[in-house]
């Protein structure tokens, strides 16, 4: 669709209306169409909208329960998926992409909300805002400059804020092993990168362990944070199912979308196909962007034999078979 603004008029209960300019592919416009399409069904839901006016100097706020019609000029025919009972778009699986055997792999992911404490979360945002000048364009291993447009702080791992998140992840690691049905493995490092995604930014579908230099990445952990109330729309994480064809794992058309809710952690295997959907940030202000700390837990090729206690269990994979039961008995 074109990026040129179109005329949109929202018709509300009581005869009220609001005219504004939006792009035809704006995520908030698609979302309003979705909610209207589900009206009167078992999956109907309400959502609070704040739409910018006058270049962000004003805002039009309303509850979707008040919305009764949308008028667009020129006409917009939106190809969207109706909502399911959990408020997400259903999976769309092409028949040719579904294998008749075990080669088809469903999406695996875990969502942990309120991952950091209130003040830890606020301090993370303060750090990002103070280091605006340190962000630089993100890169990919194949040097495809069109694959992503967001910006990163590559040296974020040296910051105390990175240490906080990495240590918290190690605390969660035994439970993550269980949730993903993974055998405990030796951890060589927890890589960390701070990312900012502003208006129009995206990151096309990819996997995080796609080359010889990062094949030891085992788990991808993305922590989201942003100003509240949230000033951007879109930017969902889309995670794809995969299928093995001729020995090669390929992305299918089936996917799950996860919203970048502030103070939310999302974890998935690093060989999972995923992408950052385009973001709309009307104010185009750095502080209104979507921020994320992406961490990769690396699996070491071999354990350290001298390690036999404490964090060494997690760092070098020497976890006793009954470790989880010991933990439960001592708590």
Per residue of the chain (331 residues), give pLDDT as tens.
456 788 889 988 878 889 988 887 777 888 888 777 766 655 556 778 888 887 777 888 888 888 888 888 887 765 544 444 444 444 433 333 344 455 788 888 999 999 999 999 999 999 999 999 999 998 766 566 677 889 999 889 999 999 999 989 988 888 898 889 888 888 888 899 999 999 999 998 999 987 777 888 999 999 999 999 999 999 999 999 999 888 788 899 889 999 999 999 999 999 999 999 999 999 999 999 999 999 999 988 776 555 444 444 454 444 445 544 444 444 4
**Which 3 state secondary structure label does DSSP give 104?**
strand
Task: Quote the tokens at residue 292.
Answer: 């994320």
pLDDT at 144: 64
Contact, 273 vs 251, CB < 8 A?
yes
Distance CA 233, CA 289 (A): 10
Cα–Cα distances in angstroms (integers) from residue 295 to residues 18, 120, 165, 222, in the given order: 42, 17, 9, 6
Residues 6+ apart with CB under 8 A from 322: none
Contact, 93 vs 254, CB < 8 A?
yes
Q: Give the residue from 290, 220, 291, 205 showing the smallest Cα distance to 255.
A: 205
- CATH 2.60.120.620 in the chain, residue ranges: 95-330
**165-174 residues labelled b (16+ CB within 10 A) or e (exposed):** bbebbbebbb
Q: Give the residue from 226, 211, 186 showing the smallest Cα distance to 313.
A: 186
Cα–Cα distances in angstroms (integers) from residue 26 to residues 183, 254, 292, 323, in the given order: 43, 22, 22, 49
The H or E element that residue 151 is part of is: strand 151-153
**Class assignment of domain 95-330?**
mainly beta
The H or E element that residue 119 is part of is: helix 118-130
Residues 6+ apart with CB under 8 A from 329: none
Direct distance between the N- and C-terminal alpha carbons of the chain, in angstroms, rounded to an integer? 56
Task: Quote the tokens at residue 328.
Answer: 């439960």
Q: What is the pTM of this model?
A: 0.65
pLDDT at 145: 65
Distance CA 192, CA 168 (A): 13
Distance CA 209, CA 302 (A): 18
Cα–Cα distances in angstroms (integers) from residue 76 to residues 29, 109, 176, 224, in the given order: 10, 34, 43, 32
Residues 6+ apart with CB under 8 A from 304: 186, 312, 315, 316, 318
pLDDT tens for each residue of 268-323:
999 999 999 999 999 999 999 999 999 999 988 776 555 444 444 454 444 445 54
Q: Which residue has the tokens 């991952």?
A: 115
Task: Quote the tokens at residue 318.
Answer: 């020497």
Distance CA 124, CA 117 (A): 11
pLDDT at 40: 60
């Amino acid at each position: 669709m074109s990026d040129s603004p179109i005329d949109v008029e929202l018709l509300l209960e009581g005869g009220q209306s609001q005219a504004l300019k939006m792009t035809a592919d704006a995520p908030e416009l698609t979302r309003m169409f979705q909610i209207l399409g589900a009206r009167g069904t078992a999956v109907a839901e309400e959502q609070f909208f704040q739409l910018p006016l006058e270049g962000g100097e004003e805002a039009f706020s309303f509850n979707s329960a008040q919305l009764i019609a949308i008028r667009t000029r020129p006409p917009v025919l939106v190809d969207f998926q109706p909502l399911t009972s959990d408020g997400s778009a259903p999976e769309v699986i092409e028949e040719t992409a579904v294998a008749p055997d075990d080669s088809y792999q469903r999406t695996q992911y875990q969502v942990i909300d309120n991952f950091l404490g209130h003040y830890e979360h606020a301090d993370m945002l303060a750090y990002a805002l103070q280091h605006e000048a340190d962000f630089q364009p993100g890169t990919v291993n194949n040097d495809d400059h069109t694959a992503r447009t967001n910006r990163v702080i590559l040296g974020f791992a040296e910051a105390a804020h990175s240490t906080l998140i990495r240590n918290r992840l190690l605390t969660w690691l035994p439970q993550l092993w269980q949730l993903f049905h993974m055998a405990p493995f030796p951890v060589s490092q927890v890589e960390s990168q701070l990312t900012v995604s502003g208006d129009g930014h995206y990151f096309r579908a990819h996997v995080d362990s796609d080359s010889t230099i990062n094949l030891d990445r085992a788990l991808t952990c993305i922590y989201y944070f942003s100003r509240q109330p949230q000033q951007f729309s879109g930017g969902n994480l889309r995670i794809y199912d995969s299928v093995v064809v001729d020995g090669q794992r390929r992305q299918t058309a089936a996917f799950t979308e996860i919203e970048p809710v502030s103070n939310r952690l999302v974890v998935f295997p690093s060989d999972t196909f995923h992408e950052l959907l385009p973001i709309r940030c009307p104010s185009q202000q750095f502080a209104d962007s979507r921020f994320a700390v992406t961490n990769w837990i690396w699996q070491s090729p071999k354990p350290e034999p001298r390690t036999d206690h404490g964090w060494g269990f997690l760092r070098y994979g020497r976890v006793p078979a009954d470790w989880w039961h010991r933990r439960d008995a001592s708590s």
